[in-house]
Amino acid sequence: MFGWEYPPHITGGLGTACFGLTKAMVNQGDQVIFIVPKAYGDESTEAARVVSASDIEIDLSQQFYKDNWGDLSYIEVNSSLIPYVGLNDFYNVINNRVRTSTDITNLSNKRKYEFSGTYGSTLMEEVERYAMVAASVAKNYTYDIIHAHDWLTYKAGIIAKQISGKKLVIHVHATEFDRSGENINQAVYDVERYGMDNADHIVCVSELTRNIVITRYGQSPDKVSTIYNGANSLVYKDIQMEKAVKEKVVTFLGRVTFQKGPDYFIEAAAKVLKYDKNVRFVMAGSGDMLNRMIALVAKERISKNFHFTGFLKGDDVNKMYSLSDVYVMPSVSEPFGISPLEAMNANVPVIISKQSGVSEVLKYAIKVDFWDIDAMANAIYCLLNYPALSRMFIKKGKSEVESIRWEDSAMKLRNLYYKLLR
């Protein structure tokens, strides 16, 4: 399996999903080798054997590399639309706009590549390098099937397929249309399309994503199936925080990017605050829209009741949940969306957008269109003011999350593998 991240070093749902899936696969008896660009050494090894691409030696004198890459120089993608960018990276990007690309054939032939393993502006470069490492992995390990998670690893998957002749399954956790709306980054789209065209089968995390893959990437419906993510791998630490404010707290937790719809959250907040001042709204996370969001809060004159926390990690996330009375995920396009499940697991009622994959599986969640801020505001108000409603969500939410099992996903995936190998 090729993936871009693995717990605990994660920036989004991808790592969590890979962990849940591989763990369930190992439990049902499958063997998984998981290759990440950069292993820190503290990755959870309970599920899969995690191999760092940085540790794999590649021999550039081999004919294969010459055939595939030749004299290659990387083109950096000069775009502010960088997928999965954390706040730190974001400032790094801005501060180091000028970067030198390296021409690999100018370097010594035998070397290891140091991968940063995060999402930055040299991403395209790393994707290419990662694919080169894949070739080496493809030769030196034994396996029956190749499984590549998200576009960053598609090239790696294809190289591995070309070398080994094994079947390639690609797993679509998100598409460029989810990340950027209509203004897609053409280079990323091309990689995605290239991956899908060359895959033997495409797994999507929801029907929503499956439809995008079929309509926007021109894939045959027979080749695309949906396997929902599980939720029961979530470990919830029950951290009870004493609430320091007497008002109710409504939380947005996620990257502050176009995909997550933070602006709709703020507009809904403004609507609620017009009628009910006893509410505090929290936006936890960072991203390229953060500054604009701060400006929007100021423009709506609601900063007295609206708070930004920046990026939260680990225990802080759980603390945030324990302080929250309502969790909102107003994503414009969310292939799956694990965070509402985490919130439900922490006894927080959730409002999710209908444009999310997770809304296809959840019953105990209020679903609204992301653009329907009236409905969103209304749902927030009702959850805060009608205890019968929030009680029901708290009571049923947790058990529902536990019933969405990775074991089921792993079983479906295994059946799919068998079908492909037959």
Partner 1 sequence: MKSICFYFQVHQPFRLKQYRFFDIGRNHYYFNDMQNSWICKRVAEKCYLPTNKLMLDLIKQHKGAFKISYSISGTALDQFERFTPEVIDSFRELAKTGCVEFLAETYTHSLAALKSKKEFVSQVKIHSDKIESLFGQKPKVFRNTELIYSDAIGEMVADMGFKAQLTEGAKHVLGWRSPNYAYSHPYKDNFKLLLKNFQLSDDIAFRFSQHSWPGYPLTTEKYVEWLNNLDNPECVNLFMDYETFGEHQWKETGIFEFLKYLPSRVLSHSNFTFNTPSELAEALNPVDKTYVPYPISWADEERDLTAWLGNDLQDDAFDQIYEFEQNVRKVDDLNFWIDWRYLQTSDHFYYMCTKWFSDGDVHKYFNHYDTPYEAYMNYANVLSDFRLRLEDALVCSPLPTKEQMQEKIITKEPVAKKTTTKKSTAKPKQTKTKKSTSE
Residue written as tokens 């035998």?
A: 110
Helix axes 262-275, 373-385, angle to 10 degrees: 50
Rule CB under 8 A: choose which of 381, 404, 406, 410 binds partner 1: 381
Q: What is the DSSP string of 262-284?
A: HHHHHHHHHHHHHH--SEEEEEE
Which listed range, 13-21, 108-116, 193-201, 380-388, lies at the site for partner 1 (CB under 8 A)?
A: 380-388
Task: Assess 403 for contact with partner 1 (CB under 8 A).
Answer: no
Residue 376: helix, strand or coil by DSSP? helix
Which of 389, 411, 416, 420 contacts partner 1 by CB under 8 A?
389
Site for partner 1 contains 277 (CB under 8 A): no
Distance of CA 263 to the CA centre of its chain: 20
Residue from 103, 392, 418, 421 that binds partner 1 (CB under 8 A)? 392
Minimum CB–partner distance for residue 414 and partner 1 (Å)? 25
- Binding residue for partner 1 (CB under 8 A) from 18, 379, 410, 413? 379
- Residues 6+ positions from 17 with CB-CB distance below 8 Å: 149, 173, 205, 229, 336, 338
Using CB under 8 A as the binding rule, whether residue 386 contacts partner 1 is answered as: yes
The verdict on 274 binding partner 1 (CB under 8 A) reads yes
The minimum distance between CB 168 and partner 1, in angstroms, equals 36
Integer Cα distance of 240 and 319 in angstroms: 7
Residues 270, 177: Cα–Cα separation, whole Å: 28
Over its C-alpha atoms, the chain yields an Rg (Å, rounded) of: 22
Query: Angle between the 290-299 and 262-275 helix axes, to the nearest 10 degrees?
Result: 20
Which of 41, 220, 275, 422 touches partner 1 by CB under 8 A? Answer: 275
Which of these segments, 83-91, 152-160, 268-276, 277-285, binds partner 1 (CB under 8 A)? 268-276
Stretch in the footprint of partner 1 (CB under 8 A) among 39-47, 242-250, 277-285, 385-393 = 385-393
Which of 28, 385, 399, 415 contacts partner 1 by CB under 8 A? 385
Among 237, 243, 313, 395, binds partner 1 (CB under 8 A): 395
Reading the block at residue 136, the tokens are 């080496």
Q: Does 377 bind partner 1 (CB under 8 A)?
A: yes
Would you say 169 or 250 has its CB closer to partner 1?
A: 250
The answer to whether 367 touches 208, Cβ cutoff 8 Å, is no
Q: Which is nearer to partner 1, 127 or 365 (CB)?
A: 365
| 388 lies in the site for partner 1, by CB under 8 A | yes
391 near partner 1, rule: CB under 8 A? yes
Instruction: Give the binding range for partner 1 (CB under 8 A) out of 103-111, 160-168, 261-269, 379-387.
Output: 379-387
- Polymer length of the chain: 422
Shortest distance, position 353 Cβ to partner 1, whole Å: 13
Q: Which of 79, 105, 162, 378 binds partner 1 (CB under 8 A)?
A: 378
In angstroms, give the least distance from the CB of 248 to partner 1: 14
- CA distances from residue 185 to 33, 128, 189 in whole angstroms, order as listed: 31, 17, 6
What are the C-alpha distances in Å from 118 to residues 38, 73, 124, 411?
9, 21, 12, 30
Nearer to partner 1, 125 or 400 (CB): 400
Bridge partner residues of 146 (DSSP): 168
Q: With the C-alpha atoms ordered 339, 344, 348, 353, is the resulting torsion angle positive or negative?
A: positive
Stretch touching partner 1 by CB under 8 A, among 73-81, 111-119, 205-213, 389-397: 389-397
Restricted to residues 348-367, the positions that interact with partner 1 (CB under 8 A) are 363, 366-367
Tokens coding 137 = 């992995």
Q: Produce one character per residue of 233-261: b if its CB has 16 or more CB atoms within 10 Å, e if not.
A: bbebeeeeeeeeeeebbbbbbbbbbbbbb
Does 17 contact partner 1 by CB under 8 A?
no
Q: Fill in the per-residue mask, 195 to 224: x = in contact with partner 1 (CB under 8 A), - = not in contact.
A: ------------------------------
CB-nearer residue toward partner 1: 304 or 395: 395
Name beta bridge partners: 148. 2, 170
195 by DSSP, 3-state: which? helix
The residues that touch partner 1, with contacts defined as CB under 8 A, are 271, 274-275, 363, 366-367, 374-375, 377-379, 381-382, 385-389, 391-392, 395
